[in-house]
Amino acid sequence: MGMIVYEAAIIGAIVCMAYLVYRRRCCRHPLFTDYPILGMLPQVVMNLWRAHDYSTEVLKLRGGTAEFTGPWFTNMNCLVTSNPINVHHIMSKCFHNYVKGPVFREIFQAFGHGIFTSDSHAWKYNRDLFHSLFHQQTFHHFLQNTIHNMVHNKLLPLLTHLHQQAKVVDLQDVFNRFTFDNICSIVLGYDPQCLSVDFPQVQIEKAFNQAEESIFYRHTVPKFVWKLQKWLQIGQEKKMTEACKTLDQFIHACIASKREEIRKYNGKGDVHVDLLTALMREEEAHDDTFLRDAVFNLFVAGRDTITSALTWFFWLVATNPSVEAKILEEIKQQFGGEEEGNKLGHIGIKEAKKLVYLHGAICEALRLYPPIPFESKQAIKADMLPSGHRVHASTKIFLFLYAMGRFEETWGKDCLEFKPERWISEKGGLVYVPSYKFIAFNAGPRTCLGKDLSFFQMKIVAVAILRNYRVQVVEGYVATPSPSIVLLMKDGLKVRITEREKLI
């Protein structure tokens, strides 16, 4: 009996050594130290609290591309890159070889089969559909009116109240509520009144936050761990289930209500141009599952990303007074001072495009703090990246967008500076930067359809707030990126709101 155990131990040791040698041979460009059994996961877990910055530091040391190996037999191995040439290859040149894939859809199951998770024909159908809806003139008018109403009738009065109270406020929470009400109005034609002076708790808004937190968690542990938690309904997976149940009940109730509204009016009365109504009025009938997934994906696209962009933008502007002064001067030049202030209530998409310096400042904020900090793909066939890294069939690839804005080779030695001037030419126009280099709105065929509309929304909010109020970050506050699939501030943005002297 003792001899059998001894022989088994020797065989086990030989197998482990062989597997270790195999892993070392396969992983020729390691991202982190590859420990026996546990792989590189320990370093990820230990630095999870600063995941984005830590990954950036390591990628800089590895030349922008490296391999990650997870614990043995967990299928967490992947290739990680922040090299713009690799990104261009994956997102554009060889677009059809790199897909979201089944692993991505499993992790992002809350998104259903919407535009963000689908591939091939399903993705193209979704994209063509939304492209058609977004470019309708009636939708543009509806969007502009909705945003102006939200800003002037809800956001500015709330900021005035906060100024009068002279209290410290979490500006990120304000933007989160603003974008939630805004996207509900645009997609559903319904205002949940989340943005009000009493800061009410809205269950559906909390459910979206929880779902995103749980999705990030699934990226950080082996699949069998979160699968087991899901089966046992414990930990993050229990929270995910509860959040998805809340979301589904809310969205399906909105769909049922909208169907009844359309049936009741049957083309009579006011023309409804919210996106859910537009989807239901398409010639090709969409079932409730398709509509549910479409609504969920539109919510994520138009809520959290805008919240993230506005939060980091205002923090950067508040901590860079010279940039703030230049933005204010541009607003004055384009729209006049106090005696012409009524012009600010009528800024359309064309007028917003005249704000070149503001556009550059927003781009700079998005470069340093992209709302979606990483993107994942899966190879269909074996390939070779321009950096010389071999990609095997089914290889998972993570594109670290957060790190891309912090590489000297791409942006120069001042890459960590907030410098809107880098986006403006000598003639005063905008400098073109290819999407695979500035990837805040994705790149290639999957470039964000709502890019121009997002810039418009952010400019309207920026102009309205900066012209009327001064945002002062509380002393000693340190902005820290949250470990999440959306780049929000970990502890919110603590500020004081004071009225600004009128522009003259």
Q: How far apart are CA 241 and CA 218, in angstroms?
A: 13
Query: 384 in helix, strand or coil?
Result: strand
Query: 80 in helix, strand or coil?
Result: strand
Whether 379 shows a pLDDT value over 70: the answer reads yes
The answer to whether position 227 is within a domain reads yes
Burial 154-179 (b: 16+ CB within 10 A, else e): bbbebbeebbeeeeebbbbebbbbbb
pLDDT-derived band at 502, boundaries 50, 70, 90: low
Averaged pLDDT for residues 381-393: 94
| Residue 502 DSSP one-character state | P
Among 477, 145, 110, CA closest to 311: 477
Whether 443 shows a pLDDT value over 70: the answer reads yes
> ∠ at Cα 231 (228, 235), nearest 5°?
70
Averaged pLDDT for residues 230-258: 94
Q: How far apart are CA 301 and CA 317, in angstroms?
A: 24
Instruction: Give the structural domain span for 484.
Output: 125-499
Beta-bridge partner residues of 375? 399
The number of domains in the chain is 1
Q: How far apart are CA 369 and CA 279, in angstroms?
A: 33
pLDDT-derived band at 2, boundaries 50, 70, 90: very low
pLDDT-derived band at 334, boundaries 50, 70, 90: confident
Q: How many CA atoms lie within 13 A of 410 on its CB side?
A: 25
Beta-bridge partner residues of 65? 81
The answer to whether position 371 is within a domain reads yes
Averaged pLDDT for residues 357-365: 97
Cβ–Cβ under 8 Å, residues 487 and 369: yes
Averaged pLDDT for residues 450-456: 92
For 8-59, what is each residue's pLDDT tens digit? 344 343 334 434 444 444 445 555 567 777 777 787 778 777 888 988 998 9
The answer to whether position 28 is within a domain reads no
Averaged pLDDT for residues 144-157: 93
Beta-bridge partner residues of 81? 65, 399
Question: What does the pLDDT read at residue 445?
Answer: 94
Beta strands in 7-161 (DSSP E): 65-68, 78-81, 98-99
The answer to whether position 73 is within a domain reads no
User: CB 375: neighbour CB atoms within 10 A?
Assistant: 20
Helix and strand numbers, DSSP H then E, in the chain: 21, 10
Q: How far apart are CA 233 and CA 229, in angstroms?
A: 6
The answer to whether position 33 is within a domain reads no
- Average pLDDT for the chain: 86
- The distance of Cα 334 from the centroid of its chain, to the nearest Å, equals 31
For 160-197, what is each residue's pLDDT tens digit? 999 998 889 999 999 999 999 999 999 998 888 899 88
**Six-digit token string for 504:** 């003259």
User: CB 374: neighbour CB atoms within 10 A?
Assistant: 20
Would you mind telling me the total number of residues written for the chain in this entry? Answer: 504
- CATH number of domain containing 331: 1.10.630.10
Residue 14 is inside which H or E element, if any? helix 2-26
The answer to whether position 106 is within a domain reads no
Cβ–Cβ under 8 Å, residues 486 and 335: no
pLDDT-derived band at 80, boundaries 50, 70, 90: very high
Question: What does the pLDDT read at residue 276?
Answer: 92
94 is in an annotated binding site: no
Tell me the DSSP string of 394-449: T-EEEEEHHHHTT-HHHH-TTTTS--GGGGB-TTSSBPP--TTTS-TT--GGG--T
Question: What does the pLDDT read at residue 46?
Answer: 82
Tell me the DSSP string of 451-469: HHHHHHHHHHHHHHHHHHE
The answer to whether position 485 is within a domain reads yes
Q: Tokens 């359809």, residue?
A: 449
Q: How far apart are CA 207 and CA 213, in angstroms?
A: 10
For 92-109, what is each residue's pLDDT tens digit? 999 999 999 998 999 999
Cβ–Cβ under 8 Å, residues 98 and 90: yes
Q: Which residues contact 263 (CB under 8 A, 6 or more apart)?
A: none
The answer to whether position 486 is within a domain reads yes
